[in-house]
C-alpha cells in the first residue's frame, strides 16, 4: 500500500473531520470512575476538602454575587460552582503542579511576563480571602458573607479595579486585582466546565446558552438549514440535559 492516504482519501477524511473534535484520547493522569453519571451532591451537604468553614462562607457569597440566579438561567450556587473551585484547589491546579514556581518574581514587570507571585493558587486564595475578610471587619465589622448584596457588590467592584490596598491588609505581594482575576476566572470555569469536574450541575449553564455538550460531531447538521437542533446537551459522563 501507500501508507499515506491518497489525495481523495485525505480530502474525504478532512471533509468528514471538519465538524469534529476528535475524542480519540482523553488524556492521562486521571482516575477511574466507578459509575459514570453519579448524582452530583447538594451544595448544602458538601464538605469542602480545601476551604475551611469561614473561607467556604466567603466563596459561597462571592459565587452567588457574581453569577446570581435569574430569569436567564441558574446561578453559580445552583450549579455547584463552589464545589468545582474547592476540587480545583484540592487537585493539581491548586498546587501549581505544572507551573514554574521558582524566582525571580518580577511583580513590577510587563503583564506579558504572566503570573509573578510566589503563591500556588491554594496559597493565593488563602491570603486573598483573609485580606478581604480583614477589610470587611475594618470597614463594616462583619464577615463578607454577612453583608448585604449592595455592599458585597461594591467590595467585589473595588477588588476588580484593584482599589483595595492588600499591602495595608498584610497580604503583599498579592494584590486585590490578581486575587479577583483568579476568583472570577475560576467561577466562570466552574460554571461552564463539564459537570464531571464538580460544577455546571446538570449542565445548567450549557442549557442556558444552548451548548450541545460533548457530542463532538455535528457533520450531518452542516447542510440542514433553518432546522432547530432537537437534542439537549450530553456530558462527558453521558448524562443528558
Partner 1 sequence: MIAWALPMAANAQAADQGVIERGAYLARVGDCVACHTAPDGKEYTGGLAIESPFGTIYSSNITPDKQTGIGDYSEEQFARAVRDGVRADGAHLYPAMPYPSYAKTTDADIHALYVYFMHGVEPVNHRPEQTDLNFPFNQRWAIAMWNWLFTEDEVFQPDPNRSDQLNRGAYLVEGLGHCGSCHTPRGFAQQLKGFDASDEDYLAGADLNDWLAPALRGKGESGRGVVDWSEQDIVDLLATGRNAYTAVSGEMTSVVANSTSHLNDQDIHAIAAYLKSIPAHTGQAGGSASKAASPDKSDIAESGTEAKLASARDLSEGERLYLDNCNACHFTDGKGAGHIFPMLDGNSLVNADNPTGLIHTILAGAEMPSTPKAPESVSMPGFAWRLSDQEVADIATFVRGAWSNDAAAVTADQVAEVRKTLPEHSFSVSPGYRSTGRDQQPTSGEQLKGGAPVEDDQ
Burial annotation 77-88 (CB, 10 A radius, 16+ → b, else e): bbbbbbbbbbbb
Contact flags string 149-168 toward partner 1, x per CB under 8 A: --------------------
The reply to whether 13 sits near partner 1 by the rule CB under 8 A is yes
How far is Cα 62 from Cα 183, in angstroms, rounded to an integer? 9
Task: Return the residues of window 174-193 that contact partner 1 according to CB under 8 A.
Answer: none
The residue among 84 and 191 lying less far from partner 1, judged by its C-beta, is: 84
Helices 53-66 and 149-160: crossing angle in degrees, nearest 10, is: 90
The reply to whether 41 sits near partner 1 by the rule CB under 8 A is no
Contact yes or no for 124/117 (Cβ under 8 A): yes
Element containing residue 150 per DSSP (H, E): helix 149-160
- Residue 175 makes CB contacts below 8 A (sequence gap 6+) with 162, 166
The reply to whether 51 sits near partner 1 by the rule CB under 8 A is yes
The reply to whether 18 sits near partner 1 by the rule CB under 8 A is no
Q: Could you say which of 43, 46, 73, 91 contacts partner 1 (CB under 8 A)? A: 91
Least distance between partner 1 and beta carbon 115 (Å)? 16
Contact yes or no for 182/124 (Cβ under 8 A): yes
How far is Cα 50 from Cα 52, in angstroms, rounded to an integer? 7
The reply to whether 99 sits near partner 1 by the rule CB under 8 A is no
Region of 141-149, 155-163, 183-191, 225-233 interacting with partner 1 (CB under 8 A): 225-233
Least distance between partner 1 and beta carbon 182 (Å)? 15
The reply to whether 137 sits near partner 1 by the rule CB under 8 A is no
How far is Cα 77 from Cα 59, in angstroms, rounded to an integer? 10
How far is Cα 159 from Cα 176, in angstroms, rounded to an integer? 5
Least distance between partner 1 and beta carbon 69 (Å)? 27
Pick the closest to residue 200 from 189, 216, 211 (CA basis): 189
Q: Could you say which of 153, 208, 238, 241 contacts partner 1 (CB under 8 A)? A: 238
The residue among 163 and 215 lying less far from partner 1, judged by its C-beta, is: 215
The residue among 103 and 230 lying less far from partner 1, judged by its C-beta, is: 230
Query: Cα 72–78–84 angle (5° rounding)?
Result: 115
Residues lying near partner 1 in the complex (CB under 8 A): 1, 3, 5, 9, 12-13, 16-17, 20-27, 29-34, 36, 47-53, 87, 90-92, 95, 97, 118-120, 122-123, 126-127, 130, 170, 194, 196-197, 215-217, 219-221, 224, 229-231, 234, 236-238, 240
Amino acid at each position: 500500500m501507500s501508507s499515506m492516504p491518497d489525495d481523495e482519501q485525505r480530502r474525504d477524511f478532512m471533509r468528514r473531520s471538519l465538524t469534529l473534535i476528535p475524542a480519540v484520547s482523553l488524556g492521562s493522569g486521571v482516575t477511574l470512575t466507578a459509575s459514570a453519571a453519579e448524582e452530583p451532591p447538594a451544595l448544602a451537604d458538601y464538605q469542602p476538602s480545601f476551604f475551611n468553614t469561614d473561607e467556604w462562607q466567603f466563596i459561597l457569597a462571592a459565587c452567588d454575587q457574581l453569577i446570581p440566579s435569574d430569569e436567564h438561567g441558574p446561578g453559580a450556587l445552583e450549579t455547584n460552582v463552589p464545589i468545582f473551585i474547592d476540587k480545583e484547589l484540592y487537585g493539581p491546579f491548586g498546587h501549581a503542579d505544572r507551573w514554574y514556581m521558582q524566582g525571580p518574581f518580577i511583580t513590577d514587570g510587563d503583564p506579558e511576563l504572566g503570573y509573578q507571585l510566589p503563591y500556588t493558587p491554594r496559597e493565593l486564595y488563602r491570603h486573598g480571602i483573609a485580606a478581604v475578610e480583614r477589610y470587611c471587619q475594618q470597614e463594616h465589622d462583619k464577615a463578607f458573607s454577612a453583608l448585604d448584596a449592595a455592599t458585597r457588590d461594591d467590595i467585589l467592584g473595588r477588588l476588580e479595579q484593584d482599589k483595595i490596598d492588600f499591602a495595608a491588609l498584610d497580604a503583599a505581594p498579592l494584590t486585590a486585582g490578581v486575587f479577583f482575576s483568579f476568583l472570577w476566572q475560576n467561577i466562570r470555569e466552574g460554571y461552564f466546565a463539564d459537570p464531571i469536574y464538580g460544577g455546571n450541575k446538570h449542565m445548567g449553564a450549557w442549557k442556558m446558552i444552548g451548548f450541545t455538550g460533548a457530542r463532538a460531531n455535528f457533520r450531518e447538521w452542516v447542510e440542514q438549514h433553518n432546522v432547530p437542533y432537537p437534542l439537549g446537551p450530553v456530558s462527558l459522563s453521558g448524562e443528558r440535559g
